[in-house]
Structure 1
Amino acid sequence: MTILDERKLDPAVALAGLDDTAPREPHRQFALKHGDCFVVADAYGDIRGGGDGLFRDDTRVLSHFRLLVGERVPSLLGASLSQDNMIFTANLTNLPLTTLDGSATPQGVIYIERSRLLWEDRMFERIKLSNYSDREALVPLTLRFAADFRDMFEVRGSIRSRRGRDYDVETTEDSVSMRYEGLDKLDRHSTIAFSVRPDRILANRADFTMRLSKRGSETLFIEVGADRPAPPGRERYRAAAARARFGMRAKRRHGATVFSSGRVFNDWLSRARADIALLTTDLPTGPYPYAGIPWFSTAFGRDGVVSALQMLWLNPGLARGVLSFLAQHQATETSPFSDSQPGKIMHETRKGEMAVLRELPFGRYYGGVDTTPLYIYLACAYVERTGDMEFINSLWPSLCAAANWMEEASQQSSNGFVSYQRAAESGLSNQGWKDSFDSVFHADGTIPKGPIALVEVQGYVYAAYRGLAELALAREDASRAVHWTECAETMRKSVEEHFWMDDREFYALALDGDGRPCEVRTSNAGHLLFVGLPSPERAQRVSDQLLSASFHSGWGVRTLADDEILFNPMSYHNGSIWPHDTAICAAGLARYGVRDSLVRLLSGTFEAAVHFNMRLPELFCGFTRQPGEAPIAYPAACLPQAWSSGSVFMLMQACLGLEIDGLKGEIQVTRPRLPIGIDHLTIRRLSVGAAEVDLSFQRVGDRVVAYLDTRHEGLAPLIVRS
């Protein structure tokens, strides 16, 4: 049967106090993901239709999903994610209830446990009601729902001149089916099925009367998928939960694990590792960490590379998967619409209707100026970590094509730098990692004209050339090794000459199309330290400023110094704190021997994570830390975000001074430090060549010593430098 939507006729939404226009609060929302399907809901388990929803292949297939008890929102007791990120649970209880027959149920005697998981593009939900009163209770339960089938970019705010066709909702006695035919001629479906037949089922709601005996309980199972399943029930729910948890355990077993003497610190490590596993999708080319939920739950080039670099010392298999995917999707032609050129590495890929119709260029988009050199850098770091020259040899044509793109890009530039200027108006105006419209500016706040040469991008290019030269030597290709060495040195000298600001003792953010420097102090300079480009003297000056109050808020490194004209601690890129950026700056400080300050950065980041329930968001506000106050959330941040989750491991590696040389089969530790309050830390199953070892760090007085488990002595030499 077909029934029209009756939302406009029903006053229950207003009476229940449902506010679907309330702003999204990512730190109070909960996300689940499996493959290319994810769901974001609030602590009640409700989907309210803002930026939340159930998404499949970049389309929102469930835009409302709200539980009412007696036409009212139940009272929230608590909400949590399981440690493995597989099951969300909301703990709820009833407000006072009066049924049609006049019987009353007092507040707080019906316990409602709402559990949810995703498996194979389907959402499974279990709603268990338990009666703790001394009499039978009739509980009126309502589920309100809708599917708007909006493209991800529509959810983010894009306006379309026209859309496809919404079909009338079809209902059966125990299910509801919604359908949308896109302008791309693809049908998108969403079916909600119930284990219990509702008393009433309409296009946007299902009503139940749950009869609970004294001290008794009843359970309702729900499934949401593209088609009608076999009848939902306990066995299907348990089977999906078991498969989901088994799959997650398999993911989390990849690579080494870190354990410390700090229980709360271990909780952070465990949550971060679980978040990376949650975001990692198994593609035909191998594992790939999707960037973040909800806006970026897809393969991004830059984010994937950075996340792989963060995890490289623990799990090099992630880097191999990222490199394989990016090589397979490397550009082979020039297209202004997609900003592609031969050899360039992909920035972003999407599967939604707007991407398919080319309303936006992001079906496969190459508008990231830094992704190509970062791709080469990751390949070079991967072989140094693993010694896996066989894999690198298979990538060699791709790496050479990427290097050719870098050379051609610098040759086309008037100043010899790799720069960007979008080729089509539909593309990104700024194409570095700080890609908001106002993230690149002159000291007076004016937006520079392009093409733009970002300082950190030149550092990535320098590091890519250096790494390629070493790979060429390993392949006995002396002429290319010499050429790329010369390219790296030319870039290093040019950056030192054109970007250094003598009066500010810092590197400029960028050069504009006239070669004029954007004389602004930003955290981008910390990325130069990360790749080792600056001279030791200039690196020291940059380090001092990054650790000063202008940059270091107490929670992390701000993206912009607080005395710059466009500084705004609530902005996206002009004064906020991005954990991955802090981690990259910290790794850069470590490269130049700054050790004790790394402990401060790691501790501040850990303490921020504690306030965010052990889950660092994509970014948060850059206000100065005040005694007794928590960091301030950024309202539209992704949570979880892969490179935010991975930041703890990059910070940890920097503090430990740990490097693994897979070519030599050596572990090198330089002036190690442990986090504040941690006296012992062990890395288990750390791969070094063909061996796996357990490496421990122990605080002894004012020193930290590193040692291998006696079982592994001789398998992998440990070299400790004080």
Structure 2
Amino acid sequence: MTSRQVSILDGSTFMVSDDSGDVGAGGQPLDGLFYRDIRHLSRWELRLNGRRPHALAGDLTEYDTAVFYLTEPTASAFDGPPVTVLRQRRIGNGLTERLTVTNHTAQELALLLDVLFAADFADLFEVKNKLPKTGTHKTSVERDRVTMEYAHGDFRRGTVIRSEGAFLADQVLTFQIRLEPGQRWQTEIEVSLSSNDHAPAVKRERHPNIDQSLDEWLAAAPRLDTDWADLAHAYHRSLVDLAALRFYPDVTPCSSVPAAGLPWYMALFGRDSLVTSYQALPYLPELARTTLRALAARQATAVDDFRDAEPGKILHELRHGELAHFHQQPQSPYYGTADATPLFLILLDEYERWTGDAALVHELEGAARAALRWMEVYGDSDGDGFIEYRTRNPDTGLANHCWKDSWNSILYPDGRLASSPRATCELQGYAYDARRRMSRLARECWGDDTLADRLDRDAAGLHERFNDVYWLPDQGFYALALDGDKRLVPTLTSNIGHLLWSGIVPDDRVDAVVGHLLGERMFAGWGVRTLAAGQPAFNPVEYHNGTVWPHDNALIAAGLARYGRRAEANRIAVALLEAARHFDHRLPEVFVGADRSVTRVPVRYPTACSPQAWASGAPLLLLRTVLGLSPRVDGFAVDAHLPGHVGRLAVRGVTGRWGLVDAIA
């Protein structure tokens, strides 16, 4: 039986082990100590007198610390173990592990405690895709340390292991221990990590590797006061997980931004960071500020086919691993996203609405104008008024540049792939919303009425064209996309819910759209499926073709509320928070789209990230939706519509252009 995995993280460093604290012992493909996309420990196993101890408990104490309580194996289940081992683990820029061994017998014991280690320096995507290494490894042993190094051309990584009192070899630390009856022995092992341009020291203080400690982060956030237990637990979990996912990208060395998710996406992602920052705006506005600056600093300025870059485009992904370094994958940075650019503009406007921070709007005016130009020139490459995408890099680039970016997500109902270029429906909604929002900023912040008037005209024209072209009158919903031949792709998907969020749906079509979203084919009981059941393409365990995504549902709920469909929005909010209860109140990236009446419990998707940024942000947006929180020029508005079982709901200390206020239902 496979043991449970225990994952701790702090920014761009994370460690995945089994529930005894071991790495490499259980055959799990993704375990180890990772730093900046490279695995610096691929083996980290404890042996007591040559045998693996038995794990009684192993779990997190905070997001960056874990404790494992182990015993020496005994001959009988009824024998008391003579020796226990406590492993206390903390990560930051590296790893510290404190080992405490206790003799529970009435006699003196002589023990051997070994720590077996190795570093394969595998790129995260070499782990994911089972690719071989091509560089050279070197291990050197000195009096007080073991150094493992990896080199491939000008790419370098290193792992250094230190511990007082250990006998050191190139793959093992050995401690010879003699304990009197009842005596305890303790030591600490320090693992430091280095890359070409980073050689940070292992942190010894308790504070996370970010600009605020967890206690400071939680204290700065608004306080939730409610009798809705599921929401209260999920709110706290979300704040903690968003704290854990913060890291310093190179482009903003003094400010932290949210990484996308553990384990595959501990990096800066345009789309994910923008959506997460939008979700968290009323509670953690600094995430939006730092995310906008970080993405503006890496905005594309030229055409680069390999990286799918075009002037004004916002990046998709920024990596630091070996494959990105040698351009075997276009991720340093990679720009294969068509939605991050309009989402950047949407977040910039929403941030100013909440905070009144016009200085940032002026600071990023050039980036915003470049993003608008990208939408008009490169995003709409054929001049038909719609944003479409096709990768410039067919060898290693992504086929899909929308949020459903798996290779087979944009397909006909029968499962045939749509041809490229593809113009998915929600991209047009984002582009419409971005133009409306930039019109306001142009008029109110930049003093450019000419631009504002043009953007208003362009938005109105897009609204009319979109509703003429994409609407399927016989079926009562919007097509998923236009394919490369400008044919409609009439697949029923959750993308239509994003159209409500963007405001591009006319009032007389809302009932039909809502009927589909909350109907039996789409609503699984835990949330709206990405693709409706009953179509041949539907698969409840396919990444984007039938699963339930919390962030997707939170945006849909916000869209429902935008059109006054508060009861339907609450239905989604309640379902998601009830699902969170089954995941220790931490919503995973995605779960299986099986019907709730059949499974009775939500089923985790096999490779779902957890924690994952926009899943962590989903409860925050749901809370905003239920309370009806919105910024106003003349103050802060609350228009609550509570589920029937909730009697008390308030968020105290919401910060914004109005100062600190309490939002009380």
Per the alignment, in what secondary structure is the counterpart of residue 583 of structure 1? helix
Q: Assess, with a 3 A threshold, how the Cα gap between structure 1 residues 677 and 210 changes in structure 2: closer, same or farther.
A: farther
Give the aligned partner of residue 108 of structure 1. Answer: 81
Residue in structure 1 matching 2:241, options 275, 280, 301: 275
Q: Assess, with a 3 A threshold, how the Cα gap between structure 1 residues 259 and 46 changes in structure 2: closer, same or farther.
A: farther
Residue in structure 2 matching 1:42, options 18, 33, 42: 18
Matched letter for residue 387 of structure 1: G
Give the aligned partner of residue 91 of structure 2. Answer: 118
Alignment of 1:301-700 (within 5 A): 301-409=270-378, 411-413=380-382, 415-425=384-394, 426-474=396-444, 475-626=446-597, 629-661=600-632, 663-664=633-634, 666-674=635-643, 677-697=645-665
Say whether the 8 Å CA contact 1:294–1:638 is kept in structure 2: yes
Say whether the 8 Å CA contact 2:532–2:546 is kept in structure 1: yes
Deviations for 1:240-268, whole angstroms, at most 9, x for unmatched residues?
Answer: 33566973333334442323235564332
How far does residue 421 in structure 1 lie from its aligned partner after superposition? 0.4
- How far apart are the structure 1 equivalents of 2:593 and 2:110? 50
Question: In terms of mean alpha carbon deviation, does 149-158 or 373-382 score higher?
Answer: 149-158
Say whether the 8 Å CA contact 1:70–1:97 is kept in structure 2: no
Give the aligned partner of residue 87 of structure 1. Answer: 65
> Does 1:159 find its partner at 2:131?
yes
Per the alignment, in what secondary structure is the counterpart of residue 574 of structure 2? helix
Matched letter for residue 141 of structure 1: L
Deviations for 1:673-702, whole angstroms, at most 9, x for unmatched residues?
Answer: 15x6543233122113252123333xxxxx
Per the alignment, in what secondary structure is the counterpart of residue 116 of structure 2? strand
- How far apart are the structure 1 equivalents of 2:573 and 2:109? 52
> Does 1:59 find its partner at 2:28?
no
- How far apart are the structure 1 equivalents of 2:222 and 2:521? 37
> Does 1:260 find its partner at 2:239?
no
Deviations for 1:387-432, whole angstroms, at most 9, x for unmatched residues?
Answer: 2222101111111110011011355226321100000122101111
How far does residue 442 in structure 1 lie from its aligned partner after superposition? 1.3
Deviations for 1:450-472, whole angstroms, at most 9, x for unmatched residues?
Answer: 10001111100000000011112
How far does residue 482 in structure 1 lie from its aligned partner after superposition? 1.2
Q: Assess, with a 3 A threshold, how the Cα gap between structure 1 residues 362 and 564 changes in structure 2: closer, same or farther.
A: same
Per the alignment, in what secondary structure is the counterpart of residue 624 of structure 2? helix
How far does residue 479 in structure 1 lie from its aligned partner after superposition? 1.3
Per the alignment, in what secondary structure is the counterpart of residue 405 of structure 2? coil
Say whether the 8 Å CA contact 2:155–2:325 is kept in structure 1: no
Per the alignment, in what secondary structure is the counterpart of residue 484 of structure 2? coil
Q: Assess, with a 3 A threshold, how the Cα gap between structure 1 residues 142 and 667 changes in structure 2: closer, same or farther.
A: same
> Does 1:216 find its partner at 2:183?
yes
> Does 1:150 find its partner at 2:122?
yes
> Does 1:32 find its partner at 2:8?
yes
- How far apart are the structure 1 equivalents of 2:499 and 2:254? 31
Per the alignment, in what secondary structure is the counterpart of residue 650 of structure 2? strand
Say whether the 8 Å CA contact 1:182–1:188 is kept in structure 2: no
How far does residue 515 in structure 1 lie from its aligned partner after superposition? 0.7
Matched letter for residue 32 of structure 1: I
- How far apart are the structure 2 equivalents of 1:210 and 1:347? 52
- How far apart are the structure 2 equivalents of 1:244 and 1:482? 46
Q: Assess, with a 3 A threshold, how the Cα gap between structure 1 residues 52 and 238 changes in structure 2: closer, same or farther.
A: closer
Per the alignment, in what secondary structure is the counterpart of residue 585 of structure 1? helix
Say whether the 8 Å CA contact 2:192–2:202 is kept in structure 1: no
How far does residue 549 in structure 1 lie from its aligned partner after superposition? 2.1
- How far apart are the structure 2 equivalents of 1:636 and 1:523? 21
Give the aligned partner of residue 216 of structure 2. Answer: 250
Say whether the 8 Å CA contact 1:583–1:650 is kept in structure 2: yes
How far does residue 657 in structure 1 lie from its aligned partner after superposition? 1.2
Alignment of 1:70-85 (within 5 A): 70-82=49-61, 84-85=62-63
- How far apart are the structure 1 equivalents of 2:109 and 2:647? 54
Say whether the 8 Å CA contact 2:166–2:173 is kept in structure 1: no
> Does 1:287 find its partner at 2:256?
yes
How far does residue 97 in structure 1 lie from its aligned partner after superposition? 7.3
How far does residue 142 in structure 1 lie from its aligned partner after superposition? 2.6
TM-score, structure 2 normalization: 0.92
How far does residue 606 in structure 1 lie from its aligned partner after superposition? 1.7
- How far apart are the structure 2 equivalents of 1:553 and 1:658? 27
- How far apart are the structure 2 equivalents of 1:277 and 1:437? 31
Give the aligned partner of residue 174 of structure 2. Answer: 207
Q: Which consecutive unaligned segments of at least 5 residues does structure 2 have?
A: 195-200
Q: CA RMSD in A?
A: 2.5
Q: Assess, with a 3 A threshold, how the Cα gap between structure 1 residues 686 and 47 changes in structure 2: closer, same or farther.
A: same
- How far apart are the structure 1 equivalents of 2:474 and 2:385? 24
Matched letter for residue 455 of structure 2: W
Per the alignment, in what secondary structure is the counterpart of residue 317 of structure 1? helix
Matched letter for residue 577 of structure 1: V
- How far apart are the structure 1 equivalents of 2:82 and 2:367? 64
How far does residue 57 in structure 1 lie from its aligned partner after superposition? 1.7
Per the alignment, in what secondary structure is the counterpart of residue 205 of structure 2? helix
Q: Assess, with a 3 A threshold, how the Cα gap between structure 1 residues 125 and 532 changes in structure 2: closer, same or farther.
A: same
Say whether the 8 Å CA contact 1:95–1:107 is kept in structure 2: no
TM-score, structure 1 normalization: 0.85
- How far apart are the structure 1 equivalents of 2:520 and 2:43? 44
Residue in structure 2 matching 1:240, options 188, 194, 205: 205
- How far apart are the structure 1 equivalents of 2:371 and 2:122? 36
Deviations for 1:103-133, whole angstroms, at most 9, x for unmatched residues?
Answer: xx945343332221112x1101112223334
Q: Assess, with a 3 A threshold, how the Cα gap between structure 1 residues 411 and 567 changes in structure 2: closer, same or farther.
A: closer
Q: Assess, with a 3 A threshold, how the Cα gap between structure 1 residues 673 and 109 changes in structure 2: closer, same or farther.
A: farther
Question: In terms of mean alpha carbon deviation, does 507-516 or 679-688 score higher?
Answer: 679-688
How far does residue 137 in structure 1 lie from its aligned partner after superposition? 4.0
Q: Assess, with a 3 A threshold, how the Cα gap between structure 1 residues 270 and 196 changes in structure 2: closer, same or farther.
A: farther
